Amino acid sequence: MADKKVILTGDRPTGKLHIGHYVGSLKNRVQLQNSGEYDTNIMIADMQALTDNARDPEKIRNSLLQVALDYLAVGIDPEKSTILVQSQIDALNELTMHYLNIVSVNRLMRNPTVKTEIQQKKFGESVPAGFLIYPVSQAADITAFKADTVPVGEDQEPMLEQTREIVRSINGIYGKDVLVEPEGYFPPKGMGRIPGLDGNAKMSKSLNNCIYLSDDEDTIQKKVMSMYTDPNHIHVEDPGKVEGNTVFTYLDIFAEDKAKVADLKAQYEHGGLGDVKIKRYLNEVLQAELAPIRERRMEFEKDPQGVYDILKAGSEKASKVANQTLDEVRDAIGINYFK
């Protein structure tokens, strides 16, 4: 087989992962891992999480294990993928510094993803410097492993473009092609971000509108039965709207029996189908999907030290790769003085 494509992807450890993560990225990562065509590196980006949680580091420390458990539960296999912790890869810090020297503050401020997140987090004039420069840190993460493939949502394309700019600048300024330009690998249409239980366009921990991969059976059922549907569908006999109805959005994503979903939609729009019935069906679908994930998670949870050992081994392996890239960048700049 020809050389594998290199993947770098990951998540910020700010809590347990929810089904939005599962649909938007985790299932995709497992499929890519199992295809045998990719050298897959999955990062727990704790340094990035600290850029807006520096005053609450315990939150990040506690979340590290939770994210690792979710990875293992969905099928990320440490024998096939390298699971690493960002803060344990020292080379990333120096690479970030070298990249910062060629990126202007104005360019960072123009990054639409950063601008949106600054507004969402209501930083105002008090944006932490670490948060402002996190696209550069992400560029270091990607380029340290010479990743040519980065599975992301479409809203992350500006971050990838900034990484490509940095790659071109480093290679151009120092006259050596030491870094690789990455391309995005996007989820299939309709399998990206899913709405929250309340109908909000974004499933978010802060909005308390999530179903978590670790939720037990009763919790899932309660959350499903509370889901937003059509507020004008008051009586069973009333015609209801399918578009914008969160229950049907979830059924479109998770239900394998597409013919049954189509039939339920037709009944609902015609009138004569109640919200309780479609919610019960969605509950059945989600329970079947999440039960094996939850069971695997509970098994790994019995041995937290074993999980930390997986993270340690993955981080040590990743450090060797990142150190090699850093050494090549130093050579290109001309600061390997004592080599």
* Mean pLDDT for all residues in the chain: 93
Q: pLDDT confidence of 156, banded at 50, 70, 90?
A: confident
Residue 73 has which token pair? 């539960």
Euclidean distance between CA atoms 51 and 55, whole angstroms: 10
Phi and psi based region of residue 181 (left: phi greater than 0; alpha: psi -120 to 50; beta: remaining): beta
Q: Does 1 have pLDDT greater than 80? A: no
Q: Does 190 have pLDDT greater than 80? A: no
Euclidean distance between CA atoms 282 and 170, whole angstroms: 51
Question: Among all chains, which residue has been given the structure tokens 């004569």?
Answer: 272
Run of H or E residues at 309: helix 304-333
Instruction: Give the pLDDT confidence of 32-71 residue by residue, as tens digits.
Output: 999 999 999 999 999 999 999 999 999 999 999 999 999 9
Euclidean distance between CA atoms 21 and 71, whole angstroms: 10
Angle, in degrees to the nearest 10, between helices 246-254 and 275-301: 50
Instruction: Give the pLDDT confidence of 213-271 residue by residue, as tens digits.
Output: 999 999 999 999 999 999 999 899 999 999 999 999 999 999 999 999 999 999 999 99
Comparing 193 with 224, the larger pLDDT belongs to 224
Smallest CA-to-CA distance from 65 within 333, 326, 308 is with 308
Q: pLDDT confidence of 186, banded at 50, 70, 90?
A: confident
CA distance readout (Å), 178 to 3, 97, 105, 175:
18, 16, 24, 9
Smallest CA-to-CA distance from 107 within 173, 179, 159 is with 159
Question: Among all chains, which residue has been given the structure tokens 């019960």?
Answer: 280
Please give the domain boundaries of the chain with CATH numbers for all domains.
Answer: 5-193+304-333 (3.40.50.620), 217-298 (1.10.240.10)
Phi and psi based region of residue 240 (left: phi greater than 0; alpha: psi -120 to 50; beta: remaining): beta
Please tell me the predicted confidence (pLDDT) of residue 124: 85
Angle, in degrees to the nearest 10, between helices 246-254 and 258-270: 160
Q: Which residues are paired to 43 by β-bridges?
A: 10, 84
Q: Does 116 have pLDDT greater than 90? A: no
pTM of the model: 0.92
Euclidean distance between CA atoms 261 and 255, whole angstroms: 7
Q: Which residues are paired to 91 by β-bridges?
A: none
Instruction: Give the pLDDT confidence of 276-335 residue by residue, as tens digits.
Output: 999 999 999 999 999 999 999 999 999 999 999 999 999 999 999 999 999 999 999 999
Q: pLDDT confidence of 24, banded at 50, 70, 90?
A: confident
Q: Does 73 have pLDDT greater than 70? A: yes
